[in-house]
Structure 1
Amino acid sequence: MPPSPRIVIVGAAGRLGQALVKRLSRDATVIGLARPAIDLLEPQSIRDALEPLDFDQLILPAAMTAVDPCETEQEKAYAINATAPGVIAEICAAKKAHMTYVSTDFVFDGETHGFYTEGDEAQPVSVYGASKLKGEELVLAADPGHLVVRVSWLYGPGKPAFPEWIVDKACSDANLSLPMDKTGCPTSATDVADMLVPLLEESASGVFHLCNAGSCSWQEWGQACLDLAREAGAPLKCDSIAGNWLADIPAFLAKRPPNTAMSTDKFTTFTGISPRSWQEALREHFATSGFLAKYQAAACG
């Protein structure tokens, strides 16, 4: 019986990192790295952390994902999202280890209707998207056998994300609005971890989109979250989220691509697996993550 693979996860404390550690630990020896053990701003820190290790695969979900700060801290964004992945990819190539780089739907300009495929041209409209695309290019240049997976609108039990934020807002504010002109695929980090397993088993290479099936607007996603929270007994002050437009949000520094819904047909063709719908995954998150307990307790009290 072959030994279980040794997998390094850089960014093990993050939302997706936690989901990956939990899922992959079932069948592999997982080495989780996070700050301060590894600092993606410092190439020497990366080398010091990785070069002594013996591993078969490495996954990099760590990134600078705050879209607006990327606009004002461009050097930092490129250091973390592009330079660091390139260094890591070269280390992996030298070790003959397979690398997976987690990228984003923000590599697209959002002007296409329908669902983006891996063959569609990436044309980012923000520093965040541009830095992640550069990271993709550097990873695949270091070794074409490496893997890039693009994810979108990620949430999960490890750390609060949009569902927790919008429910919290709805419990304190009776009037909420979200853009109707921003479309994408809400995606469970737990599902991404599950989808990644067959790709790792086959040492898949190139670019794959990993997200839950279907798409919606921010307004529709927010409303779905409130509907589930209400079913669970959360004391909402807001029952219905109004629609507005991206242009109505002056706090946004970076341009947001209006549509970044991604097709997973390539993943399904490769694995034979069809991702479940975003609605089903979201319902499970509300049922199992436990984050509604504090609202339910407040309502009972």
Structure 2
Amino acid sequence: MILCCGDALIDMMPIAPQPGTIAYVPKPGGAVLNTAVALGRLGAPVGLLTGVSHDMFGQQLAAHISHSHVDTAHLLWSDRPTTLAFVQLVHGQASYCFYDENSAGRMLDIADIPALPNAVTALFFGGISLASDPASDCYAALLEREAPTRVVMVDPNIRPGFIKDAARYRQRLDRMMAQADIVKVSDEDLNWLFPAPQSDEQKVTRLLALGPALVVVTRGNEGADGFMTNGTHIHIPAAPAKIVDTVGAGDTFNAGLLAKLSELNCLSKDQIKTLPPKILHTALNHGAKVAAKTVAREGADPPWAEAL
């Protein structure tokens, strides 16, 4: 099982019922939840570890992931409120305003998380849960606890407006990425992590030097690149798509990549270090193909396997 660890929230999606007015529709979201849902719909064995509220939105989140074949055994329930993210769309590009104080997803401690079963072979971390205390420290501790024996993928999915202490956030990310096997960043993430005037290849080299075996850089309509410590570099073009919005695109790419590696029995610590170029190319292409289906739909609505 791939266990996705991190944010599950409600995206308040804007609609215009009448000219000059805006209303919001609550839809399940969060980078980690989206990745888990996409994995479940692709047929990969997956679970979600996150804090969930007993409130109406938490019930909506639980029903959504269960419908998408995501295991719910690792949900951590509480009476705290659900995180809300109000979405603004400009030419299909999403920006967010978060309401996350004292939320069920944020107020976690490593003591809340029991030992993981042997069935969990890989863990995925990412999203705003890596930026907000105390959950961020909880997930960092969980990664450190499990990284020696399980594959770890990290996608920081950086939201600069959400970061209160940039220096501490960078230090935490550096520690987590150093212990990860796979790190995926967007080109925007890469430039935030390394703002100095260097080429992307130089920045990727710095990221690989931290410790991951594989670094993936996504570039929107310019495709994606995979870089390995053994010198392998694979570029794949973006899959053709008619873009409605980009909500959940990167999360779905993550799921496509992980699902294909799992399907090909390559999701182990030793195999990630020695991925053949052909396998990496196949996995990156699958991520791009799945993401293209998502951007053609409104909101984070990953495709089911039969839709590919």
Normalising by the smaller structure, the TM-score range is: 0.3 to 0.5
TM-score, normalised on structure 2? Answer: 0.39
Structure with greater strand share of residues: 2
TM-score, normalised on structure 1? Answer: 0.40
Larger Rg: 1
Which fold has the larger relative contact order, with Cα–Cα distance below 8 Å and residues 6 or more apart in sequence? 1
